[in-house]
Amino acid sequence: MFALAAILLTQQVDRNVVYRTINGKSLQLDAYRATKPNGRVFIAIHGGGFTGGNKGGNTGELCQYLSQRGYTCFDINYRLQRDVGGTIQTAIDAAVDDASAAYNWAVSNSAKYGGDPKRIGMGGSSAGAITSLFTAYSRNTPVKAVIDLWGGMYGKESDMKRGEAPVLIIHGRNDRTVAFSHATNLANRAASEGIKHKLLSNEGGHTLALTTRIEGKTLLDHIESFLNENL
């Protein structure tokens, strides 16, 4: 109990920092400062099917975990379907545009939070993973690592090209929202292009708890290890 209280007291989070204003809408992020920064930077993108969701939640949990281990983390909001109208594809395009803007903001602002703008990773869960994948590989945003938590590229895997960012893929084999085949498609494309990758899976469905254990380690541990290797 006292250890948890100490963590909360030392946790430094700048809430609701505006990283972009578009069509009159201010997009915000929570910036997690490490007490002892190691230079690594991570942009976290929440899920919600492009119709809902918010920063905080499991992305906030991930950012808290990483920032306690030296990372500078930015947990972002982005435009949803209700903000842009149109189809889900319209919303995906807007989310990718916002994530790319968040990357550019992080390049310009990471140093003031203790991060190195040349060591930025990106990732998220579900819609956030989809956004991260498209931002990295379809928009060619030069992130150094991608964390894909139960997402996919829905037939656009050919956008992944040799020399691009390594990707950690975590997916439940019984996912009924984003089929496990999307994970294997990503892994196969990464292998064919010589992109460093790792695929972890279990018998779970959609949205695994970050404390879930696979191969004896929690998802949080796997994410940190992968980012440590590649950022």
**pLDDT, tens digit, 9 for 90 and up, residues 155-176:** 999 999 999 999 999 999 999 9
Distance between CA atoms of 11 and 83, rounded to whole angstroms?
32
What pLDDT does 10 receive? 57
Q: For residue 8, what pLDDT is reported?
A: 47
- Provide the pLDDT for residue 134: 98
Residue among 113, 25, 105 nearest 73 (CA): 113
**Residue 52 within any structural domain of the chain:** yes
Distance between CA atoms of residues 123 and 132, nearest Å: 5
Q: Which domain holds residue 128?
A: 12-230
**Domain total of the chain:** 1
Query: What CATH code is carried by the domain that includes residue 111?
Result: 3.40.50.1820
Q: Which two tokens stand for residue 80?
A: 């949803």
For residue 101, being part of any structural domain is answered with yes
- The predicted pLDDT at position 1 comes to 43
For residue 73, is it within any domain?
yes
The torsion defined by the Cα of 162, 163, 165 and 170, in degrees rounded to 10, comes to 40
What would the two tokens of residue 60 be? 């906030």
| 86 alpha-carbon distance from chain centroid | 25
- Within a domain: residue 4? no
pTM of the full predicted structure?
Answer: 0.95
E strands in the chain: 12-22, 25-33, 39-45, 72-76, 115-125, 145-149, 167-172, 197-202, 213-214, 217-218
Q: What is the pLDDT of residue 195?
A: 98
In degrees to the nearest 10, what's the CA dihedral of 186, 146, 134, 136? -120
Regions in the chain scoring below 50 on pLDDT: 1-9
